[in-house]
Amino acid sequence: MKLYFNGCSFTYGDELKSPEKDSWPSLVASNLKSDFLNHAVSGGTNDRIIYKTLLNVKDYDYFFIAWTSYARFTEYNPVDNFEINFNPALKLNASLHYSHDLKENYPKYKNYGEMYYKHWYNELFEFKKWLQQIILLQSFFDQHEKQYLMLNAFNNNLSRWLQPADSFIESTKRFNRFF
């Protein structure tokens, strides 16, 4: 059986001295005596997880998806297809500021990230998009008769979103100007 893993630093094993042998994907594959690909990257995004997993569906039998923060997103440089993972950093005042965690220091990416999080980011919309991504990937796996296990590897403010309707509406008014 060939196993496929995707996620962010938690799945990659960033905090470990030897992620290639000590990350949880390595341990699962070793326990199952299976070949595997750990396609996770530090700072990985759910956009990236979807994109890379779709490309690999035919080559693996079982998929392990560790969803990350819905606030992250990925863009690709149109010139060389260089992958840019954008990650916000939460400051003490709880406003989102762009965290410059890029492999290369390009001011245009930093400026783009700062503008996006300042002017266009909407937490409720990103949460809904994340739920759509989960449903999309589940349906895709089912259509391709692939086995999978998905887990939430990031907090994602679930207590804010999973509450009674009245409390939910009150707590999300700042995200929806139509209420």
Per-residue pLDDT, 93:
44
Domains and CATH numbers, the chain: 2-72+123-175 (3.40.50.1110)
Per-residue pLDDT, 159:
79
- Among the listed residues 21, 7, 40, the one whose alpha carbon sits nearest the alpha carbon of residue 152: 7
Q: Which residues pair with 67 in a beta bridge?
A: 152
Give the separation between CA 89 and CA 100, rounded to whole angstroms: 9
Distance of CA 136 to the CA centre of its chain: 14
Per-residue pLDDT, 102:
46
Per-residue pLDDT, 105:
55
Q: What are phi and psi of 42, to 5 degrees?
A: -65, 130
- Among the listed residues 110, 84, 107, 108, the one whose alpha carbon sits nearest the alpha carbon of residue 97: 110
Please tell me the pTM assigned to this model: 0.86
pLDDT tens digits for 92-121? 444 555 444 444 456 788 888 888 888 888
pLDDT tens digits for 14-49? 999 999 999 999 999 999 999 999 999 998 999 999
